[in-house]
Amino acid sequence: MLKTALTDLLHIDHPILQGGMAWVATAELVVAVSEGGGLGILGAGNAPPDWVRDQLLRVKAGTSRPYGVNVPLFSPFVDDVVQLCIEQQVPVMTTGAGNPTPYIAPLKDAGIMVIPVVASAALAKRMERAGADAVIAEGEESGGHIGTVTTLALVPQVADAVSVPVIAAGGVGDGRGLAAVLTLGAAGAQMGTRFICTDECIAHANYKHTIVRSNERATMITGMSIGHPVRCIRNPMARDFEELEKSGASDIDIIEFGTGRLQRAAMEGDVVHGSVMAGQVSGMIHDVVPAAEVLRRTVAQAEAVLTSLNALIVEEKE
Ligand code: TUI
């Protein structure tokens, strides 16, 4: 067992969060991860409150263990989804892609733990001051919408900047990654791409197999020119996106080109014209297994790595 400030804070067995990924982190995955002793997180994405409510009821029917909901702050339904989470007494909310300050006090007043994703030490400090219970420091290795600092550089700087627990995200695909971020000062890790390649994730089989087949250089960043960088697998869609950005097309045309692409890949299985959002760990994911197996392997490997590293320390000879 790995016991950290995060397992204590969230009352979970393992210091592992499952990223609340839009379209793919649905109730099935959340239940599997929370039942496996991690924190399952529902991806609210851009979904309307009725869909989120239905998913929450399914999570509650499937597990009595802690779980969370992720709300990306660009969702048109942020206010309604926050209100719904308050009504439904969701234990934990994570936020992404923006500054959640206006929502922190009402959520805290309702007894909900708030854990914003940050891509800088400066925002981490502001989040702590605003009352965040922990922060997720997400490096640019992550899939989907990203910041510009690597996990290796970001996590220790965020850990120095705040006293609440820090959760590392981006570049953690197995137990070596978990051990590494604990070494950097994190109290746990969030894994996204690894949990897409699980039996319980509803992503289309084509999406999962695209990740399983890829190598460490398989991803690229689209949307940098419009201030919305997104890491995804380099496929015909991503190459066309790159060409469009280079051609000097207007922001509106670029946004229109990108709209609906994640859904197309994740739900319809169109991994040619869809956006297969995935992190740089894609190259180290070789199988699709139950989520509980991901948790078990990750913890066992982290424990083995930390134990073997400890053995490197020897007494100096006289
Ligand atoms: O939110 C994410 N990753 C996501 S959301 C998403 S949904 C989507 N769907 C279609 C097209 C594009 C996206 C896919 N991936 N990660 C959390 C995250 N937040 N990463 C980086 C940040 C972040 C960046 C800047 C958080 C705060 C921030 O600060 C801005 C500010 O206002 O200070």
In the DSSP assignment, the letter for residue 282 is G
Same domain for 88 and 34: yes
Q: How many alpha carbons lie under 13 Å from residue 72 in its C-beta half-sphere?
A: 19
Number of independent structural domains in the chain: 2
291 close to ligand 1 (CB < 6 Angstrom): no
Going from the Cα of 96 to the center of ligand 1, the distance in angstroms, rounded, reads 5
Same domain for 117 and 49: yes
145 close to ligand 1 (CB < 6 Angstrom): yes
According to the model, what pLDDT value does residue 144 have?
A: 98
**Mean of all residue pLDDT scores within the chain:** 97
Going from the Cα of 105 to the center of ligand 1, the distance in angstroms, rounded, reads 21
Same domain for 146 and 96: yes
Going from the Cα of 118 to the center of ligand 1, the distance in angstroms, rounded, reads 9
Please give the distance of CA 135 from its chain centroid, rounded to a whole number: 12
In the DSSP assignment, the letter for residue 277 is B
Distance from C-alpha of 10 to C-alpha of 13, rounded to nearest angstrom: 9
Same domain for 136 and 43: yes
The answer to whether residues 135 and 118 touch, using CB atoms and an 8 Å cutoff, is yes
Same domain for 52 and 144: yes
Q: Which residue has the tokens 């502001």?
A: 126
Going from the Cα of 141 to the center of ligand 1, the distance in angstroms, rounded, reads 13
Same domain for 227 and 128: no
The answer to whether residues 26 and 42 touch, using CB atoms and an 8 Å cutoff, is yes
Same domain for 140 and 66: yes
The answer to whether residues 51 and 26 touch, using CB atoms and an 8 Å cutoff, is no
According to the model, what pLDDT value does residue 14 have?
A: 98
Residue 30 lies in a domain: yes
According to the model, what pLDDT value does residue 170 have?
A: 98
Same domain for 251 and 108: no
Residue 210 lies in a domain: no
Name which residue sits closest to atom 9 of ligand 1, judged by CA. Answer: 262
Categorize the per-residue pLDDT at 317 as very low, low, confident or very high, splitting at 50, 70 and 90: confident
Same domain for 179 and 62: yes
Distance from C-alpha of 224 to C-alpha of 300, rounded to nearest angstrom: 38
Residue range of the domain that includes 60: 5-203+285-300
Residue 194 lies in a domain: yes
pLDDT at 125 over 90: yes
Residue 96 lies in a domain: yes
Categorize the per-residue pLDDT at 274 as very low, low, confident or very high, splitting at 50, 70 and 90: very high
Residue 305 lies in a domain: no
Beta strands in 192-309 (DSSP E): 219-222, 230-233
What is the tens place of the pLDDT at every residue in 33-72? 999 999 999 999 999 999 999 999 999 999 999 999 999 9
Same domain for 114 and 50: yes
Burial of 100 (0-12, 13-18, 19+ CB in 10 A): buried
119 close to ligand 1 (CB < 6 Angstrom): yes
Same domain for 152 and 28: yes
What is the tens place of the pLDDT at every residue in 168-195? 999 999 999 999 999 999 999 999 999 9
CATH number, residue 68? 3.20.20.70
Residue 161 lies in a domain: yes
Distance from C-alpha of 8 to C-alpha of 165, rounded to nearest angstrom: 10
Q: What's the whole-model pTM score?
A: 0.97
Same domain for 187 and 49: yes
Residue 230 lies in a domain: yes
Which neighbouring-strand residues pair with 233?
219
98 close to ligand 1 (CB < 6 Angstrom): yes
113 close to ligand 1 (CB < 6 Angstrom): no
Residue 314 lies in a domain: no
146 close to ligand 1 (CB < 6 Angstrom): yes
45 close to ligand 1 (CB < 6 Angstrom): yes
